Amino acid sequence: MNSIKVMSPFDGKVLDEIPLSNEEDIDLALDRARKVYEKQELWLPKYERIAILEKTVEIMSSRIEELTLIAASEGGKPYMDSKVEVERAINGVKLAIEHMGVFEGKEIAMGHTKSSVNRIAYTMKEPIGVVAAISAFNHPLNLAVHQTVPAIAVGSPVIIKPSESTPMSAINFVNILYEAGLPKAWCQVVVCHREVAQYLATSPKIDYLTFIGSDAVGWYLNSKVSPGTRVGLEHGGVAPVIVEADADMVALIPALTKGGFYHAGQVCVSVQCIFVHEDICDEVGLKLAQAAKKLIVGDPLDPKTEVGPLISHHEVKRIESWVNEAILGGAKVLCGGKRISESCFEATVLLDPPRDAKVSTSEIFGPVVCIYPYSDIEDAFKEANRLEYSFQAAVFTQNIDTALLAVKRLNGTTVMVNDHTAFRVDWMPFGGAKASGLGMGGIPYSMEEMSKEKLMVIKSSAL
């Protein structure tokens, strides 16, 4: 059987060797999942699902250090942030348990026309069917939770395909689910190359596809799924931020620093394009550069590290080429701008790169933020909205009218006021529109996506 070596993105150390699945393996996994879904006598009662998820929380809570080290080692996210990810993942399981208590249908009004008298109607929730989950590298444990636990909670069997770069966290999590008592057919993990992943995603045996990754791949898969397959896509964007002249500088700089350089910028809502009023543009650029220079870049397993490596050497080279293109076009480097090693890139702040440069038009997914001056906020809104992305955006101002205007004008599906774009809690709706994605994530929202409503109408002369 073919296999892949999972290596540390920081130093190239081999962490594990994982068997690769082929199309035959995918068919076996799909057949197991379809069997338990199509035979309702095999469905897990809600109380059993709750007990399994509660046991999962218990096991994960006893292994926080182990889970943290696995995620940090394979993904390169610094230890301090990987530990937060583990705690979020545990809370995500708790959120699913809590939402199961309010996951319900409703009465549909009858009798307000003559044709609908003597009837009563209710909707009820049922599992959508077999879920295929294709995941990304940047949050290897928390994304696995977000793409599998909602399915398990609503009673849909799920097959997860983690990133080839970071499969260990997902594999370990699925084994924890088994240890907690989940029968294997209800959650299976497959590690495979892109062609085999496409075979899974486009199979007529699945009912829902959840995909987290690049927009090119996501929209391609969306065009290839079998008829009737519901699809959820989470891509990314350029996370525009508008900073007005009255912004609180003391709060602003730490927020932009965290939002821009958290996980080396490898976050789908990482701060990227910052539009700053010309009256304070130089000050913001100077202070943000000063803060970025102080960040500790290096070994993700060192508890002091704040910015880890890029996921691959290829990504370091890509970031370097994008930054060089912007510099040649006239961007001023306020700090950084160069690779530190084959795996790490300096925290970089660029001032006024060309509007047609890649750093201005595409998701950087690296430790680079760009600052652009403006004089009229309406022009800033137009610049922020000019690309085909619509995910999370932000505005910093102490004027409530300006804040509300920004919320109205900005195209983001979420607009933060006086906070960075990378803020998220796992019970809020999270997802993009336009090129940024399709559908909505967040534990409760994913549970809705992975289920379907059935309407029951009863006719009776007693009504």
Q: Which residue has the tokens 């390169």?
A: 76
**First-to-last C-alpha distance (Å) of the chain:** 64
Q: Identify the residue whose tokens are 């970025």.
A: 292
Please tell me the distance from the alpha carbon of residue 448 to that of residue 441, in angstroms, as a whole number: 9
Query: Are 278 and 285 contacting, i.e. CB atoms less than 8 angstroms apart?
Result: no
Task: Point out which residues pair with 373 in neighbouring strands.
Answer: 276
Contact of 47 with 100, CB cutoff 8 Å: no
> What is the DSSP code (8-state) at residue 213?
S
Is 370 in a helix, a strand, or coil? Answer: strand
Among 85, 234, 244, 346, the one annotated catalytic: 234
Integer Cα distance of 292 and 275 in angstroms: 18
* Residue 268 bears catalytic tag: yes
The answer to whether 99 touches 443, Cβ cutoff 8 Å, is: yes
- Residue 134's beta-bridge partner residues? 161, 211
For residues 207 and 128, the answer to whether their CB atoms sit within 8 Å is yes
Q: How far apart are CA 72 and CA 411, in angstroms?
A: 34
Q: Which of 187, 192, 268, 335 is catalytic?
A: 268
Q: Checking phi first, is residue 120 left (phi over 0); if not, alpha (psi -120 to 50) or beta? A: beta
Structure tokens at 121: 């109607």
CA 226 to chain centre: 24
- Of 25, 203, 199, the closest CA to residue 129 belongs to 203
Task: Say if CB 312 and CB 75 are below 8 A apart.
Answer: no
Q: Which amino acid is at 452?
A: K
54 classed as catalytic: no
Give bridge partners of residue 159 from the DSSP assignment. 132, 188
The whole-angstrom separation of Cα 83 and Cα 89 is 10
Distances (CA, A) of 81 to 69, 301, 315: 11, 11, 20
Q: At what angle do helices 377-385 and 400-409 cross, to 10 degrees?
A: 30
The set of catalytic residues is 234, 268
